[in-house]
Structures are given as C-alpha cells and as structure tokens.
Structure 1
C-alpha cells in the first residue's frame, strides 16, 4: 500500500515532474543508443505532385516495401512489395538504401549493398525494377561487386549511366548491353566522379550529366598525378603495417588537373571544352545541361575562390561563351540554387553583392540581374523554386539567428518576403515541397523537441497528418529531468554574440561552478542553434556532473547574419575567433557571478579543436583546461581548397597562416591539455597531432594524449570507440577541472 501511495504522490504532486527523473549515462548514449530518433523515408514526391513514396518495412519479410501515400486522403498503397525485390535464385529481398524514380514513375532504380567512399556511402550495387514488366534486373553484371556509383536514368529511362572504378558506363535496359565510355580511369585518372578535396570542400560527388535528349553525356575528368600523396598507416589489421595512399592537395601545393568533356552515349571519342586558365589552379565547381538544349552551364572558380566565371558551352561546336562573373574581395561560396525558367531565357543565381545572401534572376546572356528575395536578411537555403506557381520558397530567420523559418518571394514581379511558417513554433523548420508547391513534408525540432515530421498543405501551413512525432524519444528525454538550454546574448561592445548555457539540475545560484566552453568558431559551422542536436546529451551529462556548459558563435561562423559577419574572418582564421571567444568569456565571467573564474575549460572538435588550442595557448590566464579533438595544428597541413578559401593564398598571407596556427604558440601552454586523434583521419591528418606533440615536447610542456588507431575524423569506427572516447574526456575533466558548486 505504501508503494502505491508513493507512486501516485510522485506523479501527481504539482511540484513534481511529469516523469520520474532517470539517470543519464554515457553507456545509454554511446553504447546502447537509447536516444536514437526515428526517421521517415526517404520520401520522393511522385510526378503528379498529389502523392509521395517512401520506404517501409514489410510486415512479413525482412525487407522493404516502397509505398505510396495520397497527400489529401492519406490512402496508402504498396507500389513495390518486398517480394518483388527478391532477385532470381535468392531467398531474401534487397535491402534498399536509396531509390530513384524514372521521369514517368514506371521504373525505379534501387541502391543497395553500399560502401563508404570517404564520408558517404556512394558505392554499391544498383538494380532496376520495371513496374510494368515486373522485372528486377541487376546493373553492371560482370563488373566488380559494389563498385557502381551514381547510377542515373537517361531522360527516356531506356538506359542507365554509372561509374565503376573511375570509368563511365552506359547500360541499355532492354538488351542489357553495357558500353564502356572511358578506358583511362584508374590510379591517377578519375572519370565521372571526383578526388577527395572536390568531394569534401566543393560538395562534388556525382560527376556526369545526361543531355536532355539522352544522346550525350558530359562529365568531369580529373588527373591527380601531380597531387602530393599523403599516407595513412594501418598498424592493427596485419602483422605488417599497410600504407594507404591518399592524393591530398595541401595548402600551396598542386591541385588535380580537371577538365570537362562530352561523349556520345553510344561510345566514341570525347570532345573537351578548352576552358581558359590553368586547370591545376582553377576549380570547375559546377556543370549541368541547360534544359531542352545542347548547351551546358559551367562555373569556374579561381584558386583563391574570389572569382566565379560562368560559361555556356555548346556541346556540338565546343564553343564557350562567358555570361557572368561574380567577384568578391574575400571569398565566394558555391550554391546549388540554379533553376532555369521562362523557356530557359533566365536562371536563378545566389549572390551576396548587396550585403546579404539573396536569390537573383539572371538573363541567359548575363546582361540583366533582378533581385528576387528582397530584405535585410540572408536566404539560408532555398527549399523550392516554382516558376509555374511564381514563387521561390526559402529558409530564413531575420529576427533570430538561432532559428529557421520558411518564407516565399515572387519570381515574376517585385514583392516583399512572405513568412509561411506560423509564429508560435520557435526552432528549426525544414521543408520538402511537392513539384506544384501545394504540399510539403515538414520537419520541425528545437533544443528540447526531437524532430516531428508531418505533411502540410501550403501556403496556409495546414497540417494534414503527422508522419513521425518521435513521441517515445520525447518522453524518454523529458524523463531525464534536465534543465533545457538557455539561449543568451553576449555583448562585448563591438558586437553581440549568440550563446547557449546548460546548468546542472541541482543548480544553486549562490554557489560558483566551473565553466566548460564548447567551441567551433570556423566558417563551416555553428554551435548555437535552437535545434535538437540529439538532445546535446554529452553536454547535458557534463552539466549533471557539476559544470556550467556554454557555447558562443563568434564572428565568421555559419549563421545568417549577413556578408560582413561571415567575411570578417577572412585571412585570420584562428586569430579573430580566439579573440572573440576570449572577450565573450570575460563578459560571461563579469555577468554571471555563479561562474568560477578560476575553473574555466574549453573543448572542440576539428576546427573547434584548433580553436581550443589557440585559446588555451594565447590566453593561459583564463583557460585552465582544454580538450582538442581531431584538430589542425598548422594550417599549412590542411587541404588547399578549404584553407585557401578563408585565408587566401599562402604567398599572399604568410603571417596570417603563421599567427593563426596554434602550433606556433605552443610554448605558451600553462594549463591542462588533452589532445585526441584518429590515425586514419583522412580529413585532418594524424600528422597534425604528431607535429603538435613534437613541438610541445621541444618546449618541455606536459600534456595528455589519446590516440585511436584506424579511426577517422569522427572517431566512431570499430567496437566501443564512442563510449571509450567520452569516458576518456570525462575522466580528464573530472581530474583537471574540479566539478561542482562551491
């Protein structure tokens, strides 16, 4: 009887939480995956824009069905059952990683048995299911298993092109005839895809395009022979070490020689565009066919990445015409928002020329440019461009840089931005719109709400049904009884920063607590966002151990605060950001008297690891303890494309590279430092770790280090890695930055 009374009292007393507080453990987070969110999809809008398809588990077989939902009614039908995905002679259906419809939805291309190439699973096996013939066919029979990449239907879906082992192939579906288009792909030559740096820094993976009539293929050809080779070393999978060669252009070194060619889908000789400029000192960042034409539009980015030249190339004559040149004193970003409209006489173009990132309408010959998304705000990303409906739909957040909302602007006339996301639901919103812009798959989340995925009707934002609410995860999270993130402003006089703060559950404002600052600070990302971020459970865990956890977005971080904010960091990576972080930390200490100025720590990963080292070395009087993970110690060691974009060329800014590299300030270390790295990091090489360790030893600086053999940049491969890494970090904090209020 007492137990029953106690339970009822606990749940329903007004002073008690709705759910009993549950312990938050590292094992639950990193070993048991107890807080994994559910997803929905991948979703593909059907050609009619009135229905969408998705992948769902078959209730009888251990396989996947591809199902269709009517947008308005919600009626469900099975388009392709798992039984139809059982290959001849097999007993189990294919496990579908991704799928692609033909233009008329009569065929589906299935991606399965995938393998990772660098960061992403872009290599595997492809199958085609003809829905009318009920015929399942594997592509590339006779080629190595799991070697196919980026398979795509021809416009009439009679053929499919793909890459295998750096060569291009076309396969005719009816005859199953395979035509090898290129023969020179191999160790140094890459056809139809890209080298490491193009993929990592320019977002280039799929390197070929079908012509609108299906008769030609335009493709990228890369020669990596002159790129310096970096060797990763595998010491744990054999009794002898195994070198892993990685062509990787470091700062100031040679790039791949890249060109674009056109070849008949039937085979034959390739014709090459004679694009002006040294192919080893320019990037061919984007290329695509102009719809209903024999012309391609090519974007050529110069090596400093402050000039983007736009060419139209005629695939019949191979003549080139320059139509547009975008210039910037600092650096330019490449965008994928180019859509043709008005019978291919105009295209959309993203630019920051008025101080904000906006979408423009440009004439085919480049002589006229009209601003479409007007206002003192950044277009954070474009969700959908609908020339027929007359609107561009995009994500922006004029008032709160930690949140994201859907807006639209007219594209055929001048008009003000119209907010589509209703007020009253603060956080992050993303939309996958149907072709006619009538419906959208809406994903919403914030710092305390895991993603909710729903179907809505536009423009009124009417919710038709919830597809996934992650309700069980929300209950589990709420049961932890955590203090939610507090979003605050840090005014250092010159500028005001966004920041977040997490306090312990038993926080007592009369006591003083140690502070751990989580930092990134580089142009590639932002840490202060009102988003789910998997509940930010690592930082919540540290808070429950007795720490105040904060993060600050300094100038130059990837937030929608305008051109000047983003470009201010140019030429001074590691310099301005560490200065901003130091000023913000001082302001925090003078504002919050519950923070102990004698117990301040800082940590970060990748660019944040570099920033941690810069702060710890430059301002030892403030930062007492730091953890740097997968960091760049010397900016000359990182890849040319990223570092030169934000720092300029090495010969033009030698002092900036020197001053911004933490290795050159290592002698100033006074506090406690833990450095961590994976030896198979293809992004930020283990070399960076060893060079810093060597420099610290030279200066007789004591430090701690943890090496993860054959783990890459995310240090999450192989058994128990993530849990071990977090346990190591926790131990270091507890021993070197005393937790708890005093």
Structure 2
C-alpha cells in the first residue's frame, strides 16, 4: 500500500511539473504587467563621481548613495518634511549641487513638453522658494546658481533667487504665433528637444531661439471627452512642403538688459536644431541645417565681437542626423560624430574646426557616445562592432589608440557613467537574459559588484509553453542579406504547414532584430506561437546600424525598397517546407502600419492579411522635418510620395485588412486612416477598422491596450488560423 501511494504521489508530481511547463500566456497577463522586469531608478551622478542620487517615489525623497558600497549615505530632501510641497515628480541640481528644482503638478503638453509648478530647494538652509505661481516650462538654473530662467506663455522670464525679482526678457510670445525659448511641435517631435534657451558659463547671457509660426498651417482635432459638445484642439503643424516656423537666434545680456538678434549669415528656409555654449563664456556654438537637411554648418558666434564664423561643414548626398554628441574639451577643441566615411564614428577637431583625428574607425557603427575623461584622455562609447544586433561598451584614447572592450557578455550592453568616469553601471540583457545591473570600474571594465537581476522573471517564464527566438540571416532572391528572427511553436513539427505572421517597423535607422530581452509585443508573439503559427521579423533596407549606404538607400523613395524586402522575405519564407505560403500575414504600427498597408496591396499575391495601427498612408500628411529629411518636398518629389502611398493602390486589395487609429493622435493624424478608408470604400473593398476616441499615437490608457490586442488577436485567428 505504501509503495502504491508513493508511486501515485510521484506520478501526480510529474503531471504537475509537465502542466506547469505548459502554461499559456494570456493577453491579460501581458497587459497587466505579469512579466515586467524590475529596473533601476534613474540616477544622477554627483560631481564628486563617488556618489549618486535617485528619486525614491515611494518615500517621496531624493536619496544619496555611494557607488562603491551601493549603500544610502543620506536623504537630501523629503516631501513630507516640506510644508510647501506634498510631493514632487522630478528634480534637478544647480551646478554646485547646493540647490535643487523640484517639479510638482506636472501635466503633459506633447511627447516631451510639460507644464508644472516648480520650487527651488536650498539644501543647506532647507528653504523652499516657489519659482512662479503659474504653470511654467523648462526652469533652469544659471551656472552660478543665483537665478532661474523659465518660459511662461511663450515668453522667457528670469527669477533672481536672492531678491525674488522676476524679469520678463521677451514680450511678444503668443500662442500659435510667436514662441520664445521652447520649441514648436515639429522641433520637439523631430529634433528631440524642448528647451530652446541656454545660459553661458558666466551666467550673464542667455541665448535663445525664437519661432515665428504665424504662417504655419493649423491642424485641428476634435476632442470628444465626456461633455455634451466636443472641443477642438488646434495647433500649428507644418506638413511636408508647407510653411515652417521662421526661426531666429537671439542673445539677452543680463548686464545691459538688452536683447539682440544674432546674425548667422545668409540662410533661408533653415533649421537651428542645436545651440550650445562652449567653455568660453563669450563663444556660442550653433548648428544650422538647410531644409533638405543635407548641409549642416557648425557656427561659432562670439558675443564679445558680435561675429559668427563657420568652423565645420557637413554635407551628405542624402541627409544628416542631428545628435547631442558635440562635446567641448577644456581647450575648446571638440568631439563630433559623423557618418562621412560611411559609418557613424567619433572625430576630434580643434576649436577652429581643423580635424585632429578620427577617433574610431571600421565598418561598424558607434551607437552611443558616453563622454570624455580628461584625466585619462579616454573616450567612452557604445558600438555594434561585435555584430549589428549586439551592443558593447568600449573605451579608446582620444588619439584613436588603445581601444578596449569593457563589456564581456554578448547581447545588449548600455552604460551610465559616474561624473568623473571612475565607475559605470552596466545594464545587460539578451534574448535569453532579462535585465542585469552591475557596477564596474571604468578604467578596465572590472566587475565591482552585482546590483540587481531579474532571475525571478526568467524562472517564472520557465513554466510557460515557449520556444526560443532564433536569429538568422535571410537572403532574398535579389541577393539582399537581412537580419531576422523567428519564433516557432513550442511543439513545432517540421512535417506540418504553419501560417506565418510577420512584424516589422522598417523606418529609417530603426532596428527590430536585436539581441535583447522581451518587450510586451514579444510575449504577444509567443502567445500567438502557442496558438500554432510562426512569427518572423525582418529588418530590411533602410533600417540602421549596418552603415550609411544600407540605411540611406531609401532616400526620396520611402516605402519602395522596404516593401520590396518584406515581400521578398515572405516569398523566401514561403519556400520552406513547413510554411503555408497561402497564409502569410504582416503587421506594423506607425511607419510599420504604412509598410503593412503597402505590403498587402503591392504584395497581394504574397500576403493574405495585414494589420495597420496608426499608419501613415501618404507622406503628404506627415510633418515637414521628418518627411523632407528622407523625401525632400512633395513639390520636388511628387512621384516619390505618390508611387509609395497605399492610398493609390487600394484597388489591389485581395486579403483581409484591419485598420486601427486613435482620433487624438497629434503625430500621425487620424486623417491618414480616414483618407485610406475613403479610398477603400470608393474602390468597393471590404476591410475591418477600429477607431479609439481621443487616444494618441500610443493608443493606451485603462483597458485600451488589452482591447486593441484582443481585437488584433481575434482578427489573426479568424484570418490566418481558420483558413
């Protein structure tokens, strides 16, 4: 009897283990965060390089930690100790770290811009000073910590922290007309910054960009909300080929109280994507790029002599990407990154623009520039030297010698360096390893200690019915060799025929095939694989990190070569014995939706279904800076716009097509989908569509993502799995 019970116990135990390993992922788990990894708080390295601070949201405090021990040293400020502030959501230090700006009641404007109520906290005296009673933008300490500049209702103000006096230095700011000191919508979105004013090192001048968007066409969106009548949201949005804001650069002298316009030279229809003071308090660097974005000038403006001089010219047969990598050394020589040799690399120039040397070289890309350590004369950077799907951390002497790979594990490594480059915190992950955080010595990459890992997430996933994501190179019939990954069902049987569901984004310089840990979509792909399909992703021409030629081949013809590569990839997949070539689908979001729409139309004999979420359907509808960078204007390149617009190919639709958009999308306007729907109706083509009221480009909030992915999953099951 005892042996019988023992056998039964063991048998039931084996059944439980087998059952546990066969758990299936659900959409509710994915979008409730069941597989989320634990991250590190965003840290600020203190000037001494030995300590850092983090915002502890749970306790409402800014705490200081020691790099070497990772132990808390002290609490710098805690909201509960301040009668004036109930809580704060972010903080920034003055240059000498004696004061902090604390952000409260923050509300979003667009993707990067916010409004809020801000306070200055004096660490020694524990005194709290409200900067303004109004909700303001971009409050910034002067380098000497005595003043704060900020923007309110499109005008720049300066507050003297000693006297409390406020000075308004611009007076012409008007909504949808004149903006001073912060960017307009298109600069914010496409050049990636909001604050358009800069203090000089001596704290006696502020340089700022002024935007005159009076002639920029307005775009309006209905906001349905919960009231009886909807409201209109109206803002300036320059579409491709339309008028941009007229930009000008200005200088305000705190000593004289006067503001003057800086004469940059004979430029027309141009952008100022970056301004930055050098170490010389009289010398301002200005980047000016033409509307085509293929000619960039680095200008040095001397405030003392009122002279502007071009020190560096960059030209490209296609376009130039704007970065934040410009770094001035103690002697005002500078570090610059460029694709001019065909790959993105680091260069060192004298202050007059004379090239000293190319710091990094090779048929690989620098993907991040981390900084320069003056004491060791070393530059730190991230690159794809170990394969375009990987990321590694390197150090190199500024003369281009003694390069050292600091990271050791193959996958995605990224670094956060201490202010003096003594330490760095490495974040590592790959396709089989969730985020690991470790502390290292910058001089040699040596591990100091482990900080945090996500082994529990990996252990949890071991209970689920999952198969590995496999990387491979897909070669098309035309000879293109493309990075790809594939997820097969866990019970994959090569003798069976499976439907294939392809994902891509395909935008210029992007990458989806990377050796990194799962995102939310990856869990969805594993869930779909559990249902009996193969998921594939292919990075076609136009994507990044394989050199400028591979990336820029799509210039003036967005959607031509990228679509060709996805169609050709699907054809190659269809040749595999285990693939049902009559059941191949494709999907994408934003640029990916533009692609999937084109694929089911131009590849109507290859793809049987497609899903397009928030798609661009004609580049004529998208913004000027992004679109013209890759396409020039519609007036110059009409065929490039129209030959690759899915709107013009709706008569080719044969398969199943799902179109999704949010009406509150200020980026890719719902106009794109509405015009696509109109064209499909006029062509008498049947399709499915779903509109989310007031949702922006991300289509999220509440149960929205769960609803969307449920809709897409049902659509996939009814098209690819039931045929």
- Relative to the length of structure 2, the TM-score reads 0.95
**After the TM superposition, which residues 164-183 of structure 1 pair with which residues of structure 2 at under 5 Å, given as runs?**
164-183=152-171
Counterpart of 1:378? 365
Counterpart of 2:182? 193
Task: Write the distance in 2 (CA, Å) between the matches of 1:85 and 1:648.
Answer: 56
Say whether 1:28 aligns with 2:15: no
Counterpart contact for 1:446–1:530, Cα < 8 Å:
yes
Structure 2, unmatched stretches of 5+, are: none
- Farther off after superposition, 72-81 or 516-525: 72-81
Say whether 1:216 aligns with 2:205: yes
Shift of 1:650: 2.2
Relative distance call for 1:249 and 1:524 in structure 2 (3 A) is farther
Task: Write the distance in 2 (CA, Å) between the matches of 1:203 and 1:212.
Answer: 24
Counterpart contact for 1:582–1:619, Cα < 8 Å:
yes
SS in 2 for 1:375: coil
Shift of 1:48: 0.8
Structure 1, unmatched stretches of 5+, are: none
- Farther off after superposition, 719-728 or 316-325: 316-325
Counterpart contact for 2:509–2:551, Cα < 8 Å:
no
Say whether 1:731 aligns with 2:717: no
Counterpart contact for 2:92–2:101, Cα < 8 Å:
yes
Aligned pairs, number: 715
SS in 1 for 2:519: helix
Relative distance call for 1:609 and 1:193 in structure 2 (3 A) is same
Relative distance call for 1:291 and 1:403 in structure 2 (3 A) is same
Task: Write the distance in 2 (CA, Å) between the matches of 1:131 and 1:84.
Answer: 15
Counterpart of 2:336? 349
Shift of 1:29: 1.4
Counterpart of 1:43? 43
From 427, 434, 458, give the equivalent of 2:442: 458
Shift of 1:692: 0.6
Counterpart contact for 1:374–1:417, Cα < 8 Å:
no
Task: Write the distance in 2 (CA, Å) between the matches of 1:553 and 1:707.
Answer: 29
Task: Write the distance in 1 (CA, Å) between the matches of 2:536 and 2:310.
Answer: 49
SS in 1 for 2:48: coil
Counterpart contact for 1:179–1:266, Cα < 8 Å:
no
Task: Write the distance in 2 (CA, Å) between the matches of 1:73 and 1:257.
Answer: 52
Task: Write the distance in 1 (CA, Å) between the matches of 2:470 and 2:122.
Answer: 53
Task: Write the distance in 2 (CA, Å) between the matches of 1:386 and 1:406.
Answer: 15
Say whether 1:393 aligns with 2:380: yes
From 252, 259, 264, give the equivalent of 2:241: 252
Counterpart of 1:656? 640
RMSD: 2.0
Task: Write the distance in 2 (CA, Å) between the matches of 1:267 and 1:705.
Answer: 61
- Relative to the length of structure 1, the TM-score reads 0.93
Counterpart contact for 2:617–2:645, Cα < 8 Å:
yes
Task: Write the distance in 2 (CA, Å) between the matches of 1:84 and 1:240.
Answer: 41
Task: Write the distance in 2 (CA, Å) between the matches of 1:564 and 1:129.
Answer: 51
Task: Write the distance in 1 (CA, Å) between the matches of 2:722 and 2:403.
Answer: 48
Say whether 1:295 aligns with 2:320: no
Task: Write the distance in 1 (CA, Å) between the matches of 2:618 and 2:24.
Answer: 41
Task: Write the distance in 2 (CA, Å) between the matches of 1:705 and 1:643.
Answer: 26
Counterpart contact for 1:543–1:549, Cα < 8 Å:
yes
**After the TM superposition, which residues 212-361 of structure 1 pair with which residues of structure 2 at under 5 Å, given as runs?**
212-265=201-254, 268-277=257-266, 281-344=269-332, 346-361=333-348
Counterpart of 1:596? 580
Say whether 1:608 aligns with 2:592: yes
Counterpart of 2:458? 474
Relative distance call for 1:121 and 1:273 in structure 2 (3 A) is closer
- Farther off after superposition, 427-436 or 447-456: 447-456
Shift of 1:459: 3.0
Shift of 1:502: 0.9
Counterpart contact for 1:40–1:467, Cα < 8 Å:
no
Relative distance call for 1:349 and 1:724 in structure 2 (3 A) is same
From 502, 523, 540, give the equivalent of 1:554: 540
Counterpart contact for 1:35–1:534, Cα < 8 Å:
no
From 63, 68, 72, give the equivalent of 1:72: 68
Counterpart contact for 2:302–2:308, Cα < 8 Å:
yes
Counterpart contact for 1:373–1:416, Cα < 8 Å:
no
Q: Which deviations, in whole Å up to 9, do the C-alpha atoms of 1:571-590 show, x marking residues without a partner? A: 11101100111111212222
Counterpart contact for 1:299–1:311, Cα < 8 Å:
yes
Counterpart of 1:521? 506
Counterpart contact for 1:504–1:543, Cα < 8 Å:
yes
Counterpart of 2:515? 530
SS in 1 for 2:190: helix
Task: Write the distance in 1 (CA, Å) between the matches of 2:307 and 2:447.
Answer: 51
From 97, 106, 114, give the equivalent of 1:114: 106
Counterpart of 2:569? 584
**After the TM superposition, which residues 369-448 of structure 1 pair with which residues of structure 2 at under 5 Å, given as runs?**
369-411=356-398, 413-415=399-401, 417-422=403-408, 425-448=409-432
From 713, 726, 734, give the equivalent of 2:697: 713
Counterpart of 1:154? 142
Task: Write the distance in 2 (CA, Å) between the matches of 1:691 and 1:83.
Answer: 50
Task: Write the distance in 2 (CA, Å) between the matches of 1:266 and 1:161.
Answer: 15
Task: Write the distance in 2 (CA, Å) between the matches of 1:342 and 1:78.
Answer: 33
- Farther off after superposition, 262-271 or 213-222: 262-271
- Farther off after superposition, 678-687 or 497-506: 497-506
Task: Write the distance in 1 (CA, Å) between the matches of 2:674 and 2:462.
Answer: 43
Shift of 1:481: 3.7
Task: Write the distance in 2 (CA, Å) between the matches of 1:524 and 1:193.
Answer: 27
Q: Which deviations, in whole Å up to 9, do the C-alpha atoms of 1:263-287 show, x marking residues without a partner? A: 13468331111223455x2100110
Counterpart contact for 2:270–2:290, Cα < 8 Å:
yes
Shift of 1:525: 1.9
